[in-house]
Amino acid sequence: MTESSALDPEDRKIVTLARSARARNGVPEGAAVRDETGRTYVAGTVALASLKLSALQTAVAMAVASGAKSLEAAAVVTGAESVSAEDLAAVRDLGGPETLVHLAAPDGTVRLTVVAG
């Protein structure tokens, strides 16, 4: 577990971006990922009749579609108590097993930090 204040500034930034996406779009989850060049990709939950993606899966897909080769870190803001296996798999597919994933509460407090592997 990692306290929010213990996060490095770049990780704090992706938590803040994920929180903003959740609030701005009125969705259950917001997520942000940072690629190997420092670019960030921000997304919310996608819930269409024909397509359902978590916020973290959507952020990873946006990074891939934009040409990212790997991920340095990821953050998801949600009311859930854990990061789903599917979300960890998406991060692992692009970022590798050592990529950190920060799980934050809706108020931005980081509740848990796990490695994607």
Residue (of 89, 90, 104, 80) closest to 21 by Cα position = 104
Report d(CA 76, CA 105) in Å as an integer: 9
> Mind listing the pLDDT tens digit for each residue in 24-63?
999 999 999 999 999 999 999 999 999 999 999 999 999 9
Whether the CB-CB separation of 108 and 16 falls below 8 Å is answered with yes
Across the chain, the runs of DSSP E, i.e. the strands, are 30-35, 40-44, 46-47, 52-53, 71-77, 100-104, 110-115
Q: In the structure, what pLDDT confidence band is assigned to residue 72 with cuts at 50, 70 and 90?
A: very high
Q: Would you say the pTM of this structure is higher than 0.75?
A: yes
> Mind listing the pLDDT tens digit for each residue in 6-26?
899 999 999 999 999 999 999
8 in helix, strand or coil? Answer: coil
Residue 2, pLDDT > 50, answer no
